[in-house]
Structure 1
Amino acid sequence: MEDLGPAGAGLAVALENLFPPLPSEVILPLAGFAAARGDLGLLSAILFTTLGSVVGALALYGVGAVLGRDRTRAIIAKLPLVKLRDVDKAEQWFVRHGPKAVLIGRLVPVVRSMISVPAGVERMRIVVFLPLTALGSLVWNSLLIVAGYQLGERWHVVESSVGVFQKVVLAGAVAAVIWFVVVKLRSDSEKVK
């Protein structure tokens, strides 16, 4: 980021999508801190990191689409520092929630990078995948960059707080699914009467 500016922040986030052990929870607040110091513009940091997120997500989507489920899993199983169970979680999330999984998944650490793989395997329409990925990434990136910007030299505090945020997002998703099931069951029971 220091050498390449906003483009470096975007590149770091694109690589974070491809190599999940690089945590966005560190990269993005650090970009916010760099913006607070005047090394980057806040808006350009958000835009470039969102672009980087989309580029990385498209690469993983392409891997899933070209290789298919079995070959993708075989390759992932051989990669160091990447857990096959993370891909399994993303796939289960995608199967349950479809396109919403891409949007919500971009807000959940671990799932955020891997959600692109099942979207590619299932050949989700790219005109749906791209805007959902961009919107989810924009929200995530903005939250963490602005937090790093606001915290200044204490930008590293964001990483520990993300765990709490992750739990809130998951609880919200579970509540939404429960609500959907209840509404569906009530609707079906009223049709039977």
Structure 2
Amino acid sequence: MTETSPDSSWLSALLDWCVSLMDVIGPAGAGVAIALENLFPPLPSEVVLPLAGLAASTGSFSLFEALGWTTGGSIVGALLLYGLGAWLGVDRLRRIAGRVPLLHPEDIDRTVGWFQRHGGKAVFFGRMIPIFRSLISIPAGVTRMPLWRFGLLTAAGSLIWNTIFVLSGYLLGESWHVVEQYVDILQYVVIAVVALAGAWFVFVRTRAVVEASRERRTAAQHEETRELASSTSAGRD
């Protein structure tokens, strides 16, 4: 099986480990790597999956084994994060939000409400969006989405995503890196959108805090003025 391009970075070392894992235990190695990708998003499924497809094209294991094991790995990793969300729960998250600057417990309530209305679509499509692929499992656990529904949606979304990339490695062979370029663009777009949304949230909340502080100072000044006027009037009497 072909190794990843030589690089001294920790990520390349991690990918080399994934390749070695597939060499040693076959398609189960791909499943383990994808399960870990759910728990450790810097491990890119966009690289691991084509490598599994490449291995299948060389006869190390079959294409169906590659798809089955990687989708199974996606489900296992997602269930572990679902469990983390269920352990956190709404009450604990509300307490945490109350201690974090610029966050309010009501933010958790709104997020939970949104997820309860749109959680099915979020889990299904979220499995095909970088970064959110892993994170979407946590609110599903927090809201206690029925486990059977979460599992089916995760399996369906993961199967589509995994099939695209496993087939790219299977069909493109050594040229599978072509796909990585387009995925990088998608990932940069997602990161940019998240960064802009985060910056806007901080701006709006900071402005609200400043305005609230200004209103309190103004109210205090008015109160002092009224008290001073009252005491002056009483003195004249």
TM-score, scaled to structure 2: 0.59
Kindly tell me: are residues 11 and 62 of structure 1, through their superposed partners in 2, closer, same or farther at Cα, counting changes over 3 Å?
same
| Contact kept in structure 1, 2:33 and 2:48, CA below 8 Å | yes
| Contact kept in structure 1, 2:112 and 2:143, CA below 8 Å | no
Looking at structure 2, the residues matched to 73 and 23 of structure 1 have their Cα atoms a distance apart, in angstroms, of 31
Looking at structure 2, the residues matched to 105 and 54 of structure 1 have their Cα atoms a distance apart, in angstroms, of 13
Instruction: Give the corresponding residue for 1:143.
Output: 164
For the residue of structure 2 that corresponds to 1:29, the secondary structure is: helix
- Give the aligned residue type for 2:129: V
Alpha-carbon shift at residue 157 of structure 1 (Å): 1.9
Max radius of gyration: which structure?
2
Kindly tell me: are residues 119 and 100 of structure 1, through their superposed partners in 2, closer, same or farther at Cα, counting changes over 3 Å?
same
Kindly tell me: are residues 38 and 57 of structure 1, through their superposed partners in 2, closer, same or farther at Cα, counting changes over 3 Å?
same
1:107-122 map, 5 Å: 107-122=128-143
Instruction: Give the corresponding residue for 2:125.
Output: 104
Looking at structure 1, the residues matched to 161 and 113 of structure 2 have their Cα atoms a distance apart, in angstroms, of 21
State the identity %: 60
Looking at structure 2, the residues matched to 73 and 149 of structure 1 have their Cα atoms a distance apart, in angstroms, of 46
| Contact kept in structure 2, 1:63 and 1:72, CA below 8 Å | no
Higher relative contact order (CA 8 A, sep 6+): 1
Q: Does 1:13 pair with 2:31?
A: no
Kindly tell me: are residues 63 and 2 of structure 1, through their superposed partners in 2, closer, same or farther at Cα, counting changes over 3 Å?
same
Instruction: Give the corresponding residue for 2:66.
Output: 45
Alpha-carbon shift at residue 149 of structure 1 (Å): 0.7
- Give the aligned residue type for 2:77: G
Looking at structure 2, the residues matched to 131 and 107 of structure 1 have their Cα atoms a distance apart, in angstroms, of 15
Instruction: Give the corresponding residue for 1:152.
Output: 173
| Contact kept in structure 2, 1:57 and 1:133, CA below 8 Å | yes
Alpha-carbon shift at residue 4 of structure 1 (Å): 1.0
TM-score, scaled to structure 1: 0.71
CA-based RMSD: 2.9
Q: Which aligned runs of 4 or more in structure 1 are off by greater than 6 angstroms?
A: 72-75, 90-93, 165-168
How many equivalent pairs are there?
155
Looking at structure 2, the residues matched to 73 and 43 of structure 1 have their Cα atoms a distance apart, in angstroms, of 44
For the residue of structure 1 that corresponds to 2:50, the secondary structure is: helix
Structure 2 unaligned regions, length at least 5: 1-21, 97-110, 190-237
Kindly tell me: are residues 35 and 50 of structure 1, through their superposed partners in 2, closer, same or farther at Cα, counting changes over 3 Å?
same
| Contact kept in structure 2, 1:91 and 1:115, CA below 8 Å | no
